[in-house]
């Protein structure tokens, strides 16, 4: 470590990013800045410009808009959680949105043919796993770079979706599929679930601290642990109370949190998850200690395919239809990758968190939502999104340890 007087801002940033809590800081600051600007600064500026205007309210921070923001960001967050897995390996998946589109289109065809909604969802989830794992086989066993394989997958799956949907659009009226986005958790049970989630996170933090102490490892400070728990509790309760004040907690958001918790547990508390970080940090070293790097890669791409299929189901449920533009032909892919990167997952592999991907999705969703409310053009939205993405990648590159190099 450099002497205190010789440390630059970059050195301090690198030290912060190497801590377990450091990856949260940039994305939280970005989210706070966006919410402050669109929630406070813009309405105050409008009022200052026209004091006689009526109806000036903090529209962006209204319960109705926050509810819609969470629903709009759910599909992006689902794909971003899956993409985070391959980014941890140092790979990338450019076909995730197209995979979601194919699965959503297949879901629509199946329910239209009379297949029960729950069975159709299970079928498309299996199809998503196969689509992702097939690409993983090409990457792991044939040796084709993931960028090339998934770019080919992007083009091929876009064509497949057009084959499934010749008209480019298909309405879905199945009650089970529609209920995923329409069912609301009663207010009381929403608060109960929030309490249970906070208690679960607290128990995990204390268990992790106890295990580190038993193994003689360096312990996190009590302030860091309880500060993290307190911040998480405030975030969860604020979200639930805000959504309750408009309608209630949507089942789709609950499912997203449950899926993220499951994937987060797999990546941090299982041998397979630790293998992903090991391969992403140094694939050759992981191979030499006996890890089956090829199988790990195939499994990771299979997880991405599964999450993409679930994202397709969420999107079909929310919109009540499937369209080529909403999935394969729009900006869903770039927004999902951007959410994972903005959330602090390193493009060079070995560092990241699926929970941060959700925060990154909120950043992307909040920016688009705020620009829409401000009357910004599509061109402005693209430029702002690109600027935030390049800033996130720049922070990732600068904060890497000195002397490190891409894989």
Kindly report, residue by residue over 381-393, the tens digit of the pLDDT: 778 777 777 776 6
pLDDT at 259 over 90: yes
Q: How far is CA 260 from CA 62, 78, 135, in A?
A: 26, 8, 23
- Contact between 330 and 74 under an 8 Å Cβ cutoff? The reply is no
Report which of 133, 117, 15 is spatially closest to residue 85, judged by C-alpha positions.
133
Spans of all domains in the chain: 58-171+248-398, 187-247
Q: How high is the pLDDT of residue 252?
A: 94
**Could you tell me the end-to-end alpha-carbon distance of the chain, in angstroms, rounded to an integer?**
25
For residues 336 and 324, what is the distance between their CA atoms, to the nearest angstrom?
A: 17
Q: What 8-state DSSP symbol labels residue 39?
A: I
The CATH classification number of 58-171+248-398 equals 1.10.3470
Q: How high is the pLDDT of residue 135?
A: 95
Report which of 204, 198, 181 is spatially closest to residue 238, judged by C-alpha positions.
198
Query: What's the token pair of residue 211?
Result: 């295990």
Q: How high is the pLDDT of residue 23?
A: 59
Q: How high is the pLDDT of residue 407?
A: 43
The H-assigned helical ranges of 165-250 are 175-182, 187-214, 222-246
pLDDT at 180 over 60: yes
Query: What's the token pair of residue 147?
Result: 């960028």
Rg value, the chain, Cα: 22
Q: How high is the pLDDT of residue 17?
A: 53
Grade residue 19 by pLDDT with cuts at 50, 70 and 90. low
Report which of 96, 94, 101 is spatially closest to residue 323, judged by C-alpha positions.
101
Query: What's the token pair of residue 200?
Result: 């679960």
User: Per-residue pLDDT averaged across 208-231, rounded?
Assistant: 76
Report which of 359, 352, 355, 357 is spatially closest to residue 340, judged by C-alpha positions.
357
For residues 253 and 264, what is the distance between their CA atoms, to the nearest angstrom?
A: 16
Indicate the average pLDDT of the chain: 83
Q: How far is CA 399 from CA 248, 271, 357, 402, 405, in A?
A: 40, 27, 18, 8, 12
Kindly report, residue by residue over 317-352, the tens digit of the pLDDT: 998 888 888 887 778 888 898 888 888 787 777 778
pLDDT at 403 over 70: no
DSSP track, 302-371: HHHHHHHHHHHHHHHHHHSEEETTTTTSSSHHHHHHHHHHHTT--TTSS---HHHHHHHHHHHHHHHHHH
Q: How high is the pLDDT of residue 226?
A: 80
pLDDT at 9 over 60: no
Q: Enter the pTM of the model.
A: 0.86
CB-based contacts of 391, cutoff 8 Å, min separation 6: none
pLDDT at 107 over 50: yes
For residues 205 and 20, what is the distance between their CA atoms, to the nearest angstrom?
A: 12
DSSP H or E stretch at residue 136: helix 117-137
């Amino acid at each position: 470590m450099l002497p205190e007087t010789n440390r630059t801002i970059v050195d301090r940033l690198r030290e912060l990013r190497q801590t377990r809590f450091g990856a949260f800081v940039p994305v939280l600051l970005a989210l706070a800045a966006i919410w402050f600007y669109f929630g406070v600064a813009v309405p105050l500026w409008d009022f200052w410009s026209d004091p006689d205007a009526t109806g000036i309210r903090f529209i962006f921070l209204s319960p109705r808009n926050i509810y819609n923001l969470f629903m709009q960001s759910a599909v992006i967050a689902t794909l971003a959680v899956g993409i985070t897995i391959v980014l941890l390996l140092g790979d990338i998946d450019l076909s995730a949105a197209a995979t979601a589109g194919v699965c959503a289109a297949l879901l629509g065809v199946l329910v239209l043919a009379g297949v029960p909604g729950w069975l159709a969802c299970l079928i498309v989830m299996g199809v998503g796993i196969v689509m992702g794992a097939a690409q993983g086989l090409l990457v792991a066993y044939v040796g084709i770079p993931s960028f090339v394989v998934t770019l080919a997958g992007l083009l091929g799956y876009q064509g497949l979706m057009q084959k499934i949907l010749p008209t480019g659009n298909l309405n879905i009226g199945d009650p089970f599929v529609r209920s995923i986005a329409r069912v609301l958790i009663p207010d009381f049970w929403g608060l109960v679930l929030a309490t249970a989630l906070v208690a679960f996170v607290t128990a995990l933090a204390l268990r992790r601290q106890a295990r580190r102490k038993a193994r003689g490892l360096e312990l996190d400070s009590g302030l860091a642990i309880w500060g993290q728990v307190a911040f998480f509790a405030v975030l969860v309760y604020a979200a639930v109370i805000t959504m309750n004040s408009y309608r209630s907690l949507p089942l789709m958001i609950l499912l997203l949190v449950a899926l993220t918790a499951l994937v987060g547990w797999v990546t941090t508390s299982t041998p397979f998850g630790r293998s992903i970080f090991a391969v992403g940090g140094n694939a050759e070293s992981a191979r030499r200690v006996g890890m089956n790097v090829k199988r790990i890669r195939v499994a990771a791409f299979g997880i991405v395919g599964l999450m993409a299929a679930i994202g397709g189901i969420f999107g079909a449920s929310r919109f009540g239809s499937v369209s080529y533009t909403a999935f394969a032909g729009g900006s869903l892919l770039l927004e999902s990758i951007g959410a994972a990167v903005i959330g602090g997952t390193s493009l060079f592999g070995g560092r990241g968190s699926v929970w941060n991907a959700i925060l990154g999705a909120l950043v992307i969703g909040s920016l688009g939502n705020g620009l829409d409310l401000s009357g910004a053009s599509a061109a402005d939205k693209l430029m702002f999104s690109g600027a935030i993405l390049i800033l996130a990648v720049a922070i990732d590159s600068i904060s890497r340890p000195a002397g490190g190099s891409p894989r």
